[in-house]
Structures are given as C-alpha cells and as structure tokens.
Structure 1
C-alpha cells in the first residue's frame, strides 16, 4: 500500500474535522429540504402519528398557489419591498460607513447607536414598534421640500422616493451589520493607494469611484446576501404569515408556497448580484491613421 502524500494527509484530516458537520447538514438540512419538496407535490394529512401522504398530485399545489390571491399579492409586495429596501440598505451602509470611518469625536458611540437595533432586532419587538407607529416619521411625508422634489419626477421615481421615506426607519434598522462590514472593508484598504492617486491628480470623487467602491464590491455582495436573508426570514414577513396559516390545514400547499417564495428570493438575489458586478469599462479610443497626401 502506497504511503499517503502530505497533501492527501492534510485533506484526510480536514475531512475528518468536518465529518460531523457534513452528517448534521445531511440529516438536519438536506433531508428536510428534499422531504419538503416531496410534500409540495402531494396531498398531506396531519395525523397523531405524524405526516401522512394521501395522494401524489404533481404540480397541482403550485398551480393552486397562484390562484390564491392573498399569496400572490404578498409575493408581489415582497418583490416591490426588496427592490426598494436592498439598494437603500447598500446606499446608507456605504455612506454611513464612510462617515463613521473618519476621525470624528464620539465615533465609537455613533457606531454603537447604529448597531443597537441588531441587538434588539426580533419579530415581536419590531411588530410592537410598528404597531405603535414608531417606524414612520410623519414630518417626512408632509415635508414641502420632498413634495417639491417628487412633483418634478416621473411617477415611478416619485413613488419610489415616497416608499423609501415611508420605510426609512425600517431600512436603517437593517443597516447595523452592513455598516460594520463596510467599516471593516474601508480599514483594510491601503492608504498609500489614495496617496498615489492624489499625486496623480485624482480628486476625492474619482478616488471613491476608482478605488473605494471597487474595493468594497465583494463586501457589498456579502451585504446583499445578508440583507436579503435577514428580511426574507424575518418573522413579521407577510409571506411567512400566509405560509404558516396554511400549514395545519393544507400542508402540501404550504410547502408549495415555501418553494415559490424560495424561487422568487433566489431570482431577486441573482438579479441584484448581477447588477452589482456589472463592469462598465470604457473602450479605449482608437487613433485614426493620418494619411500623408504628399507621400
């Protein structure tokens, strides 16, 4: 028997360390996911002994899901909410991260304030705050300057701005972790790069677009995934409420709801990541050859 090489021994030890995790992942994650998909294709009855598959109905549950008007409306509202919330979270996280990364007095206190919602963030707490009307700033909706800005914009942009201001506190609520991620990324950027750019005559705005933002792009991808998962799995989510309401009476339909919800979330996530990672490169101008007429 041939002796193992150093790389093979290291790989064996590595797999040995993660073996327990692989077993747990298979039992507690992969198996329930596969089982959930099987239930979504079946009529399931809840008995005293557990779940019992009565009949295989194929994709009938998925067809019935799109007939269920409350679920369709909840999915549509979820899509609109994500289109507004995720870009807003990224924007505010980058702006606040840049501000908190500067040398200002009380920087640690400000960082704690922005991270505080993460500590108390839970479905019941947020629902209670929302029921008390604390997630809305009435002054913003009646501000004449904002109304003036909206009056000069197309309808879809005006509605988008109104939706952002209506959810401004909720958006800031989810920026705690992204702000910390942005600050950590900014502190990893070598300052000598900015010094070299300044010597070459680059302005602060050009340094941001050419150095800061490209350096933060991998972290923005992480923020996008984290924010989407945080909002999608939040207990006060309207789609969650519909899924849970059908779990006891129509278990197969409830699982179909879950898989449709997963598919919509995955499509949105891929769409966001694709847009973020688009490279806008200018093509270099080709010099025209000058023909010497006197040659």
Structure 2
C-alpha cells in the first residue's frame, strides 16, 4: 500500500447538484466550476489543493465515456508521488455506480473520495460545502485507502453505498453494514476496515466506450413476462441483470425468457430490489446470484467481466 506522506489533494469535478444553481427542486445541475466550489469553502484555503474539471453534467446523464475519462484522470493523479488522495465531486443519482466502477477498475492504495450534495450551492440548506470539506479531510487522512463516498459526515464503502432517499439531506446509506468511518468536527473516526479489492485494471476499459458490451437491467414484478428480455436480446444485449423481488425471486414467465437468454450464451445475474441487504443462498435451479451487489452495481460488474 502506498503511503500518504504528502499533503496535496486533487479535486476532480464532474458536475452534479453540488455544482448546481437554482432553488431546492428546480435547480440546474453542473453550473459551478469545481475551482469555484473549492474557493467557496474558506476552511479549504489552508489546504494544498489542485482542481480539475473532468466533466460538467447532471449525474443522471452519466456515460461510459465520462467513466473512462474519470478513471484515467484519477489513475494519473494517484501515480503522482506528491498526491495524497483524490476527491471527486459528483451528482447523487449515480454516485454509487461510479464509486463501484472506480473500485473495480482501480482499487487504489491511496484514497479516492466521492462526494456530492442534495441541495445546490444557491440553497439556504446547501450541504455541498461541508461534504466537500469532509471529503478532503478523509482524502488526507493517514492510512485511508480505496474508493470511498463521504456524505453527511459518514464514510461509505463502494460496495455498500446506496442512495436511499430522493430528497432528504441524509440520503445515503450503507445498509446493515453501516459506514466505514465518521467525520466528526474535522476528525476521522474509523469504524471498519477500508475497502479492498482485486482490481481488474485500467486496461479493461481502454476500448472505445461505444464498443463496451451492452448490459441491461430487467425488473421482476407482478404480471411480468419475457417480452422485454426477448427484445433486449434481439437488440444486442450481451448480458442481463434481473432485479428480483424479495430474495431475488423471479416471476415464472420472466424466468423462462431469462433461461432462453442464458441458453443463447448471455450471462445473467439476479439481484434484489430490496435495499440494504444481500441475496441469501442459491436455491436449486436459480439464476446466478449477484450477492451483496445492488442491481446497478451488478450491471457494472457484469459489464466489466465481459470487457475483461
């Protein structure tokens, strides 16, 4: 593991609500530069920081092309000996997907900390400045490593973190696992081990993102059938994730179509639409389990597996 012996923190901006402007509901994401976000937090003035704008978008519109560019820029800065860690400002909607993607591609020895906000900069309840300050604090913390998410004073791991509330300030959760650490009055209180992972490597995503395999998510629900599955296979899907009910159970009519897809060579993973816990067990005849991964993270895992 690399040692955090230096003080420089690089902040990479991708847009999101944390860089938004407007009222609490009708704001426009990605309006403020990451350099201006840093300048707006007086407590960061004493820190050794660099800011770089990687993208400027609403994270609901996150793309594979931005993912690849972000991973490349994170890797570049982590390789600089003077850099202690990297902070990524992001939108909340797909933060958990980006965190897991970076976790599987990079698994860095230095901290890579994603942060975001539920209110724009112009809101009276703006949570972005404190979240950014906390993220920098964690990125500079001795011994911190791996991909992390810092929001509302909690440090989440890339596997467990989920957006659990659509509007509340305290929107993120790590489910039953709980946070990895807390940020209290500028101090990091570690609760669990920092995340570790066998990385797939940046070369896995070297190809043009337009050529990355298509992996889709299909939901099981009352009245489900296999029409969507058959259509996705016909459209060129290379893998499927089923968002199952309960313990990742699948409607019988939908299951038949998924079995046809597997017979045609498509890998399929079953995840659960329930939040906060993993799929348990593997009943006889069940589709392969995504385990503790949410449907969106299972999609990332399956796509990266196909790329690898």
Which TM-score applies when normalising by structure 2?
A: 0.22
Q: Which has the larger radius of gyration?
A: 1
Higher helix share: 1
Higher strand share: 2
Q: Which structure's relative contact order is higher, taking Cα pairs within 8 Å and 6+ residues apart?
A: 1
